[in-house]
Amino acid sequence: MYRLFLIAALAAAMISSRSAAQTATDAEPRINRAIELLMDGQPIYYTQTAGGGYDEGMRLSQTDADYITYDMEHGVFNMTELRAFMQGLVDGGPTPTGHRTPPVIATLPVTGLDEASMRANAWLVQQVLAAGVHGILLCHARDPEAVRVMIEASRYPFAPEAAELDQGFRGAGSQGFAARIWGVSGTEYLRRADPWPLNPDGELFFGVKIEDSYALENAEATAQVPGIGFAEWGPSDMQFWLRGLPEPGVNSQAEPEMAAARERVFNATRDADIYFLNSCNDDNVAEMIDEGVMICTGGSRVGREYTGREMP
């Protein structure tokens, strides 16, 4: 009986996904608040947690941030804890905006060094998505082919075809827990768990950190990988590669090689028509928004006032 149900669910999702590439369902409520805001032309602001389980999820369920970065690049890679965190968000919700949870974008302990290492570690991508997160930010995205494998690992085989991408290889059964976190049926999750803006109806949001000298050389090609929605230039790591140890009292970001690195990544996002993430604060957020920065680490109160966004 279960097999018959699964086959029917996959068939239904396949039919739905074919039309999803053509027309976004505007009347359908968005699961991912960050995507909803970007579609409205509003910059978004995030907060970050270095891990944590159910209690941390409950604590952040009412955050005024537009999404949460769940750090497993340097934090502990613990799927039991991540699932508990996601459940805590659900149990502490809904959010002040009426969404079931804030969106969660995870960083991974695997980096985008090359295709072979990403293919060998594609299971991390699939485990994290199966926990119900809403996207991944890939650190040290050096190789466009590694980025491409990450996107393919996130997609189901029946997802709408996309030029330059092979068929997705996410498997049946991965939708169960994630669908409960999203508050949708398994079939609905199968339809909507696809990268945006590649799929207009997708609810997953993927980014890359172009944060070392090797990644910088491939910035343009990396930003063009279908399925990527945003990029950042990672100034702290970029400092290590371009200038070495930080110098006390020196604003390294103003140094010519650092400024040039930021400009190259920013231009790559513009050319690829994706979003750029940059650190912001109350003093510079308006200037950043005018420049075209759409994802900020700080300055949310001033930034929202500047763009006329009313908070609930």
Cα-based distances in Å from 175 to 22, 52, 109, 178, 191: 24, 23, 23, 5, 10
User: Do residues 92 and 61 touch, judged by C-beta distance below 8 A?
Assistant: yes
Percent of the chain clearing pLDDT 90 (strictly above): 86
* Residue 201: CA count within 13 A, CB half-sphere: 22
**Dihedral class, residue 158 (left if φ above 0, else alpha if ψ from -120 to 50, else beta):** alpha
> At a CB cut-off of 8 Å and minimum separation 6, what does 145 contact?
114, 115, 118
Please state whether beta strands 275-278 and 135-138 pair in parallel, antiparallel, or not at all (unpaired). Answer: unpaired
Assign a CATH topology to domain 2-17+33-306. Answer: TIM Barrel (3.20.20)
DSSP letters for 221-241: HHHTSTTEEEEE--HHHHHHH
Tens digits of per-residue pLDDT, 192-228?
Answer: 999 999 999 999 999 999 999 999 999 999 999 999 9
**Among 26-40, 123-137, 265-279, whose mean pLDDT is lowest?**
26-40
* Arithmetic mean of pLDDT over the chain: 91
Is the confidence at residue 175, as pLDDT, over 70?
yes
Tens digits of per-residue pLDDT, 41-81?
Answer: 999 999 999 999 999 999 999 999 999 999 999 999 999 99
Instruction: Name the residue among 5, 10, 26 with its Cα closest to residue 193.
Output: 10
Is the confidence at residue 6, as pLDDT, over 70?
no
